[in-house]
Amino acid sequence: MRSALPGGGLPADPTAIVLDATGLTCPLPVLRARKALNSLKPNDVLELRTTDLAAPKDIRSFCEATGHVLIGQERVGDFDIARIRRK
């Protein structure tokens, strides 16, 4: 699924692959993101949507540990969005 965010902090990226991890709790959002990133080509962008309050910190740590680039994170309504560029 491809998506772009309407307005807001992160610039729209219509080429981003969207992964809906809303409703999942730690560690599932990060595990699903890892699996999705492994299926992407280098420099592809994953847009991860989560509702777990720990997810933003966990995603930041995951990117630091794996070398993927955290483009940005923002809160939109009831969920968080993180954009990650595959290394």
- Look at residues 45, 46, 73, 44 and name the one whose alpha carbon lies nearest to residue 57: 73
Task: Please give the Cα distance from 33 to 58 (Å, whole number).
Answer: 11
What would the two tokens of residue 6 be? 């309407």
Residue 26 falls in the annotated catalytic set: yes
- Given the residues 3, 13, 22, 26, the one annotated as active site: 26
Q: Active-site residue numbers? A: 26
